[in-house]
Amino acid sequence: MTMWKGLSGLALGILAWGGVALAETPGERVAGQAVVNYRIFGDVHEPWPERRHTFTGGVTGLADITYSTIAGYRPMKLDLYLPPPGGGPRPLIVYIHGGGWMGGGPRLSAAFANWPEVLASVAAEGFVVASVAYRFAGEEPFPAAIHDVKTAIRFLRAHAHRWGIDRERVGLWGASSGGQLAALAGTSCGVEALAPPVVAPRMNANVEQPISPPAGLLQQSDCAQAVAAWYGIFDFATLRRPPAGTTNHREHPYLNCGSATCPEERLNTPSPAHYVDRSDPPFLLIHGDADRTVPVAQSQEFHQRLRTASVAADLVILPGIDHSFIGGSHDQTRDTSRAMLARTLDFFATTLGSGRSGR
């Protein structure tokens, strides 16, 4: 476990040690460009009026790719960020947004002012990046959201050749409710009860022009090789009320309990902790110890569960930091957000291999 200190003095960029300049890590390059607001979802930019966008660094953004269409629901979409062409297949990072399973979107994250620019910066480091939407609890409770996430992973693997993806190097990254979904997908590899139903995707969300499922979709894996989860929920059975809140999480529409009395099975089935075993991929968990939305104990206990099962897992605890990396000042929020962004990308560079140089 790491207790992160010295955030206010964080220096991103070229570091010097004994007068010798050290090369930036991928995470430092990305974090150094990230713009962070004081509050979550504040002054958010929506930079994609068109379906295709070119970002700095030669990154191509493809907006609103429909990966699943289920009768009676809105088409499920993802945004894709492709690194500059060249080299072999690249590692894939799938980002899963937060919002309490009731809101948010693929172009939003915590206090970052322009999340698409952040994800494009990650892609510029040599990763293919996908940011996925999923059904909210108000549309359909559990297991709809995890079905959507797993479908998106399979869809991307099915199109690996088209988008230059290495099927064997897939990382999942989520924040808050997205952290729960990323961790659940990471720990439930091969769990038939959570396997998504197979439906025909439509590439352009156009019901007049459906296409058949890509060849081999049924054979694609939804397993991951690395998972990063920011301030997530990992065990609904042990979840206590937020320190400064009154919400009873067991009544949340996501669980579809309908009352404070929720069957044990309904608490265990969506809990990543319920599926932990030694075959799970490496994990990075990050949580503020002043989180008033999700108790830091969720990450601490999940980390212990992973380590007990001999799973490689790192835990970073942020003193005095609230949910979404919100600190006591704008500077603290900015520095914490950038530092944890850097820490996360460097985790993926280590576990999945550098996108720029291959394995």
Largest CA distance in the chain: 64
pLDDT computed for residue 222 by the predictor: 97
The pLDDT of residue 49: 40
CA distance 133 to 104: 9
CA dist., res. 214 & res. 196, Å (int): 15
| Average pLDDT per block of 10 residues along the chain, 359 residues long | 56 38 79 74 44 93 92 93 94 98 95 96 97 96 97 96 97 98 98 81 48 64 98 91 49 77 89 98 99 97 99 99 98 98 98 72
Whether residue 253 contacts residue 185, with contact meaning beta carbons closer than 8 Å, is answered with no
C-alpha pair distances (Å), 240 with each of 38, 100, 293: 27, 16, 10
Tell me whether residue 269 is exposed, middle or buried, using C-beta atoms within 10 angstroms of its C-beta: 0 to 12, 13 to 18, 19 or more: buried
Q: Which two tokens stand for residue 161?
A: 């050749």
User: Which of 18, 178, 21 has the alpha carbon at shortest distance from 94?
Assistant: 178
Whole-number Å distance between alpha carbons of 239 and 219: 35
> Strands 20-22 and 90-96: what pairing?
unpaired
Please tell me the distance from the alpha carbon of residue 326 to that of residue 328, in angstroms, as a whole number: 7
pTM of the model: 0.84
Q: Note whether 266 and 255 are within 8 A (CB).
A: yes
- Which residue's entry shows tokens 């549309």? 139
- Cα angle, residue 65 at apex, residues 112 and 218 outer, rounded to 5°: 115
| CA pair distance 48, 233, nearest whole angstrom | 31
Q: Whats the size of the chain, residue-wise?
A: 359
Round to whole Å and give the CA distance between 250 and 218. Answer: 34
| pLDDT score of 221 | 96
How do the domains of the chain map onto residue ranges?
Answer: 21-234+271-352
Topology, domain 21-234+271-352 = Rossmann fold (3.40.50)
Return the closest-CA partner of residue 156 out of 104, 205, 214.
214
Q: Which helix (H) or strand (E) covers residue 26, if one does?
A: helix 26-33
CB 160 within 8 A of CB 128: no
Instruction: Give residues with Cβ within 8 angstroms of 161, minimum separation 6.
Output: none
Distances (CA, A) of 145 to 12, 98, 101, 221, 291: 36, 12, 8, 17, 24
DSSP string, 65-98: EEEE--TTSPPEEEEEEEPPS-SS-EEEEEEE--
